[in-house]
Amino acid sequence: MHRLTFRPLAATAAALTLIIAGAVPRSAGANDEKPAAPTFNRDVAPIVFAQCAPCHRPGEAAPFALLTYQDVKKRADLVTAVTASRYMPPWHAEPIATAFHGERRLTDDQIELLRAWVDAGMPEGDAADLPPQPEFTPGWQLGQPDLIVQMSEEFEVPADGPDLYRNFAIPLGLTEDKWVRAVEFRPSAPTVVHHSLFFLDPTGQASREPGFARLSFEGAARRGRGQGDLGGGSNGRSLGGWAVGASPLPLPAGLAFRVPAGADLILSTHFHPSGTVERERSVVGIYFADKKPERSFTGVQLPPVFGALAGVEIPAGEKRYTKTDSFTLPVAVDAFGVNSHAHYLGKEMELTATLPNGEAIDLLRINDFDFNWQEQYQYEEFVRLPAGTRLEARVTWDNSADNPRNPSNPPVAVKWGRESTDEMGSVSLRMMPVDEADLELLQQSYRDHVRAAARERMSQRPAWRERLKRWIAASASNDEAVE
């Protein structure tokens, strides 16, 4: 369990380490001892094996391998450039007091070392220093799944053309309700599968046409499921997702998603053509919990419905267009996961918590959001947030011509919408009430928050009444892909 009171101590220790680390080169310089140039085998290989090879190896999404001296030497200038700019390894959450699980972030010293190695002429070094080649788990990373399902047929991704968003319904064949603690997604054509979001269709009504383009849970929502978990928790429609480079991430011990008997799994997949025709037939491994979990979790998305109710209307050329939303927790929670969503214009994402004692903590901070890397972040340990904690989200979009990711040149006015060239924006926090009995109060309170936002929007735009009602009902699925 995370102890908030330990944080200032940890921060001090980190600051001390920095001071000490900073002192070393200075005293070395004073002695006029030139530090030995870094070598590939001793200094560079450990960084590359740990931080680059998980993706830069055959069969993975990155376009070339970084496994040997030759591999790295050949691209040394590019390697120093992309590490210095922090384009690689891809990781967009800024460091905060709480550690993220599986954080991919080079330290300043590591970045500097890579540069110093290139400056020194890329010495290979002593063969005895070379660490063993990294080992990657063949087959399933989480072990043998309890249930393995596969797309009914291959989906052909053309060699070029625009990105494709396609949905695939896969019957799970469950005759009783089950609880899922992890999903491992294995694309058959990893070079073109950018990300896939997993949804449940409890009605089994989604199209069975492979690769159908639009996902709508409206039918389900109308049948009274709109009262469900608006925040994407253990009783919602989402089963999480997979993005390029991501490792399967089991829920923290004791937590699981409920999967009702008869539900279909829907893979909502983003394809990015690679220059050659590829055929994708994803395989999904599902890991069940042994028993019904004793604890439930839920989520809070700010602003709700991916920003649909926030009145996102970004003028052409606007450099900093911002929306904020806040929500006060009615009960104590243990937060464990955070993620954000926007499209190409999304720039900064921020979620902070102000505790009742006035202490402010960062829960997520992204300064350079990238639509191409929609990561789910999980904290290494639960973050305790007492009742009365105020969560505050801020999303900033850059619709200026300076934004290299702006799909329109010159920029055009952009509104909230489903296409990638429309915009969305929100930050979501996953949490477990400290006391299970508080779940309903927490969910009710968040539903009230969503309704209040909807009422305000309806008063601004009376003509949208019916549309907004549908969005709210459908948001029980926590799914952006709703018409």
Residues that bind ligand HEC in the complex, under the rule CB under 6 A: 51-52, 54-56, 61-63, 66, 75, 78-79, 82-83, 88-90, 104, 106, 244-245
Sheet holding 390-397, edge to edge: 321-328, 390-397, 346-354, 360-366
The nearest distance, CB 63 to ligand HEC, in angstroms, is 5
Is the peptide bond preceding residue 410 cis, with omega within 30 degrees of 0? yes
Q: Cβ–Cβ contacts within 10 Å for residue 370, how many?
A: 16
The nearest distance, CB 363 to ligand HEC, in angstroms, is 22
Instruction: Please say which residue, 106 or 468, places its beta carbon nearer to ligand HEC.
Output: 106
Instruction: Please say which residue, 82 or 174, places its beta carbon nearer to ligand HEC.
Output: 82
**Residue nearest ligand HEC (C-beta atom):** 245
β-pairing, 390-397 with 346-354? antiparallel
Nearest in space to 89 (alpha carbons), one of 47, 118, 124, 44: 47
Q: Give the SS3 label for residue 186.
A: strand
Instruction: Please say which residue, 201 or 375, places its beta carbon nearer to ligand HEC.
Output: 375
The nearest distance, CB 337 to ligand HEC, in angstroms, is 18
Say how far apart CA 382 and CA 483 lie, in whole Å.
Answer: 35
With beta carbons less than 8 A apart as the criterion, state whether 336 and 431 touch. yes
The nearest distance, CB 80 to ligand HEC, in angstroms, is 8
Q: Give the SS3 label for residue 452.
A: helix
Instruction: Please say which residue, 112 or 218, places its beta carbon nearer to ligand HEC.
Output: 112
Instruction: Please say which residue, 104 or 181, places its beta carbon nearer to ligand HEC.
Output: 104
The nearest distance, CB 297 to ligand HEC, in angstroms, is 26
Instruction: Please say which residue, 75 or 451, places its beta carbon nearer to ligand HEC.
Output: 75
Instruction: Please say which residue, 104 or 341, places its beta carbon nearer to ligand HEC.
Output: 104
The nearest distance, CB 72 to ligand HEC, in angstroms, is 8
The nearest distance, CB 135 to ligand HEC, in angstroms, is 16
Nearest in space to 333 (alpha carbons), one of 252, 387, 255, 261: 387
Phi, psi of 390 (to 5 degrees): -100, 120
CA angle (324, 358, 8) in 5-degree steps: 105
